[in-house]
Homo-oligomer: A and B are copies of this chain.
């Protein structure tokens, strides 16, 4: 507070981590990320938060599936024929899903709830940025566990244990365009709770809980642009609440879901 050299305004920086190799199954992502950050002159520091895009996590965990290994069910084949989609991909989406939220062949829409509880298009499966044209990339089996492992591997390599957020691209019910949100987290509270705090007028604020993990995922997307090879972002300067954490608080309970 009394350090006159410190800026008196809040400032947060998002830095893309470049120079990671093509990720192979079994890769030690934490080690690769720590090394890449150091190589580019931005070694991980205490207080940093890391956002890791889902695709490299799935690749490291061997979640890339060859489509010719997939036998579509009759149900998948019928929908795929009507929607003009690959029946093997539809089959994978259904396998990765606990429930179908919207299925509309005419619009080509297949929105499901994944086994993790994420409501998203195509169970988060996508076919871009995988080496083989005839393969598809599934979400990690347990992205919170993935985040914990990456965090431990980074600590083992660098001595720093930044919170880890694993991000993926989501549509929204009433807005066009996609944004990145969190699908896995380790080491920080995904929420900032303003309920009960006082506003600038000393009045108690009533409603707002901010999903800071989702805002961090969205921030990271600004530097981890899709088509270029920047799969990780380092966020520097944001105070956070350390916690053993999971994405569970970000997921609306089904009993409170008004939109399915």
Chain A residues close to B by CB (< 8 Å): 7-18, 40-42, 102, 104, 107, 109, 111, 113, 118-119, 126-131, 133, 169, 172-181, 190-192, 194, 197-201, 203, 205-212, 214-216, 218-219, 221-223, 225-230, 238, 249-252, 256-259
List 13 additional A-B contacts (Cβ < 8 Å) besides A178-B210, A215-B221: A8-B40, A10-B225, A11-B13, A13-B14, A119-B174, A128-B205, A169-B208, A176-B252, A177-B191, A177-B250, A179-B215, A197-B226, A205-B226
> Roughly how many angstroms separate A229 CA and B214 CA in the complex, as a whole number?
23
Q: How many copies does the complex hold?
A: 2
Contacts A177-B191, A179-B214 known; A9 to B14 CB distance under 8 Å?
Answer: no
Question: Can you report 21 A-B residue pairs in the complex whose CB atoms are below 8 A from each other?
Answer: A7-B41, A9-B223, A9-B230, A10-B222, A11-B16, A104-B258, A119-B174, A129-B205, A169-B210, A176-B209, A176-B249, A177-B190, A177-B191, A177-B210, A179-B210, A179-B211, A180-B215, A199-B227, A200-B229, A215-B222, A222-B238
Residue A177 contacts which of B42, B119, B214 (CB distance < 8 angstroms)? B214
Residue A219 contacts which of B10, B174, B209, B219 (CB distance < 8 angstroms)? B219
With both chains docked as a complex, state the minimum distance between the C-beta of A106 and any C-beta of chain B, in angstroms: 11
Q: Cβ of B256 and Cβ of A107 under 8 Å apart?
A: yes
> Roughly how many angstroms separate A232 CA and B11 CA in the complex, as a whole number?
12
Contacts of A218 in B (CB 8 A): 179, 214-215, 218-219
With both chains docked as a complex, state the minimum distance between the C-beta of A202 and any C-beta of chain B, in angstroms: 10
Contacts A9-B18, A12-B14 known; A252 to B175 CB distance under 8 Å?
Answer: yes
Residue A199 contacts which of B177, B226, B256 (CB distance < 8 angstroms)? B226
> Roughly how many angstroms separate A164 CA and B10 CA in the complex, as a whole number?
19
